[in-house]
Amino acid sequence: MTQRARDAFLRACALDVAVRKPGNVSSRSPGHGMTAEQFLASARAAAPALFAARMPVGQRIEAAVAASWAAAGCNTNLGIVLLCAPIAAAVERFPQATDAPALQRALEAVLADLDVDDAAAAFRAIAMARPGGLGEAPIEDVRNPPSLGLRQAMALAASRDSIARQYANGFADLFEIALPQLVHAEVNDNAVQRVYLALASRLADSHIVRKHGEAVAQTVMSAAQQWLLQAEAGVSLDAMPAFAAWDDALKAARINPGTTADLTVAALLLAALVEGQRPGRCILG
């Protein structure tokens, strides 16, 4: 099961950059000083640590971020690693969790067991990655040793960070918003775009909020809602010049829905682990 999960992680990361997701890096459209190849290199580098046997979640995060940074030379996948490390641990600990409710219960059990050592390792990883707009927190700042377990520390940031929110709510947003777009469907370009737009239309992107403010994030949400309606109606978004133009405009303004992309990768991984999911294409080779 662990090898299957590792392969699913690599497929998820490959799909993430194979598909145009406006504002985010893809093989069709580099941006923000990064290329798709850097994301693929990061995925390959991170996978061994993320899916290492019997490794605590915090250690998985720290080792994967260090390997990714060495491979790409920048922060390409901190959010992906933070989201996928508990999933990897849940798959190893509960290999029988092959449907969505069981997988969510397995994740909840892993999250409930996270301790101060997990928090310390994750804090070091976040400080190492230096995500844009990190700022300072009044309590449990990642630059200082933690006094709480990782889940409790993440809960303090849940109102301002969608990745922290998944730790607090048991990945509810992914199971309730994203997974219904993927389960029992072939994971192709359109499905990935639907997941990305569904998340973008429901959750203000944390990265955009930190860098540009709530108003800009709300503008992106409103646009995503309109594009999601067309995607759900079966329209091929890639055939529409306006969709590519939105991508270009976001990048020209340095607006990157990076948290939404991270959530999309985690959703693709969860979907691949749910029994009956048909695999998507993989471009990692």
Least confident interval from 58-62, 188-192, 228-232: 188-192
pLDDT in tens, 174-219: 999 999 888 666 778 888 999 999 999 999 999 999 999 999 999 9
pLDDT-derived band at 285 (thresholds 50, 70, 90) equals very low
Q: Is the pLDDT of residue 50 over 60?
A: yes
Across 71-79, average pLDDT = 91
Q: Is the pLDDT of residue 15 over 60?
A: yes
CA distance 76 to 239: 28
Q: What are phi and psi of 167, to 5 degrees?
A: -65, -40
Query: Quick one: CATH architecture of 2-273?
Result: Orthogonal Bundle (1.10)
Q: Is the pLDDT of residue 60 over 80?
A: yes
Give the residue ranges of DSSP H helices in the chain: 2-18, 36-50, 57-72, 78-93, 100-112, 116-129, 150-157, 162-169, 172-173, 189-202, 206-212, 214-232, 241-252, 258-273
Task: Name the residue ranges covered by the structural domains of the chain.
Answer: 2-273
State the pTM of this model.
Answer: 0.92
% the chain with pLDDT above 70: 90
- DSSP secondary structure string for all residues of 129-180: H--TT----SSS-TTS--SS-HHHHHHHHTTT-HHHHHHHHTSHHIIIIIGG
Q: Is the pLDDT of residue 278 over 80?
A: no
Query: In a 10 Å sphere around its CB, with 0-12 CB exposed, 13-18 middle and 19+ buried, how is residue 182 labelled?
Result: buried
CB contact at 8 A, 22 and 250: yes
Cα 144 to its chain centre, rounded Å, is 25
